[in-house]
A and B are shown apart, each in its own frame.
Chain A
Amino acid sequence: MDLNYTPEQEAFRAEVRQFLDDNLPDDIRERVQKRLRPDKAMTERWQKILFDQGWGASTWPKEFGGTGWDPIQQIIFEEECALAGAPRQLDFGLRMVAPVIMTFGNDAQKQRFLPGILSGEDWWCQGYSEPGAGSDLASLRTSAKLEGDHYVVNGQKTWTTLGQHADWIFCLVRTSTEGKPQQGISFLLIDMNTPGIEVRPIIMLDGEHEINEVYFDNVKVPAENLIGEENQGWTYAKFLLGHERTGLANVGQWKALMKRLKAVAREEQDGQRPLIENTRFRDRLAQLDMELRALELTVLRVLTDKRGPGPQASILKIRGTEIGQQLFEMLMEATGQDAIAHIPDALELDYNGPRSGSIDATPAAGDYFNMRKLSIFGGSNEIQRNIIAQLVLGL
Chain B
Amino acid sequence: MNFDLTEEQQMLSDSLRRFVTNEYSFEKRGEIIQSGHGTDPATWSALAEMGLLGFTFPEDYDGLGGNAIDTLVVMENLGRGLVVEPYLATVVLAGGLIRDAGSEAQKADILPGIASGERLLALAHSEPGARYNLSHVQTTARKDGDQFLISGQKTAVLHGSQASQLIVSARTRGNVNEESGLSLFLVDRHANGVTVDDFATHDGHRTAEISFSKVAVSADNLIGTLDNAFPIIEKTVDLGIAALCAEAVGAMEAMNAATLEYIKTRKQFGVPIGKFQALQHRMADMFIHTEQARTMAILAASEADSDDRARRREAISMAKTLVGQAARYVGQEGVQLHGGMGVTDEMFAAHLFKRLTLINLLFGDADHHLAQVSDGLLAKTA
Which residues of chain A have a CB within 8 Å of any CB of chain B? 1-6, 9, 72, 262, 265-266, 276-277, 279, 282-283, 285-287, 289-291, 293-295, 297-298, 300-301, 304-306, 312, 315, 318-319, 382, 384-386, 388-390, 392-395
Contacts and interface: CB of A to CB of B under 8 A. Distances in A.
A283 B374 contact: yes
Interface in B364-382: 370-371, 373-374, 376-378, 381
Contact of A304 (B3, B5, B371): B3
B56 to A, nearest CB: 15
B321 A290 contact: yes
Contacts of A388: 284, 287-288
A3 B321 contact: no
Contacts of A294: 292, 295-296, 318, 322
Interface stretch (B23-31, B41-49, B275-283): B275-283
B374 A279 contact: yes
A6 B2 CA distance: 10
Contacts of B281: 382, 385-386, 389
Given A286-B373, A289-B373, A395-B263, A389 B292 contact: no
A389 B284 contact: yes
Contacts, number: 124
Contacts of B378: 276-277, 282
Contacts of B160: none
B302 interface: yes
26 contacts: A1-B3, A1-B6, A1-B9, A3-B298, A6-B1, A72-B1, A262-B381, A277-B378, A282-B378, A285-B377, A286-B370, A286-B376, A290-B318, A290-B373, A291-B322, A297-B295, A298-B291, A301-B298, A305-B3, A315-B291, A319-B288, A386-B281, A395-B264, A395-B275, A395-B279, A395-B283
Nearest to B287: A388
A390 B302 CA distance: 33
Given A294-B295, A294-B322, A1 B287 contact: no
Which of A297, A385, A392, A395 has the most B CB atoms < 10 Å from its CB? A395
Contact of A1 (B298, B370, B377): B298
A214 B109 CA distance: 79
B374 A297 contact: no
| Number of chain B interface residues as a range | 35 or more
Interface of B: 1-6, 9, 69, 260, 263-264, 274-275, 277, 279-281, 283-285, 287-288, 291-292, 295-296, 298-299, 301-302, 318, 321-322, 370-371, 373-374, 376-378, 381
B328 to A, nearest CB: 14
**Main SS of chain A's interface residues?**
helix
Contacts of B285: 385
Contacts of A293: 299, 318
Contacts of A390: 280
Contacts of A1: 2-6, 9, 69, 298, 301-302
A265 B377 CA distance: 11
Nearest to A76: B1
* 6 shortest interchain CB distances as A-B pairs: A389-B280, A286-B374, A385-B284, A388-B284, A385-B281, A286-B373
Nearest to A296: B295
Contacts of B288: 315, 318-319, 388
B72 to A, nearest CB: 8
Nearest to B302: A3
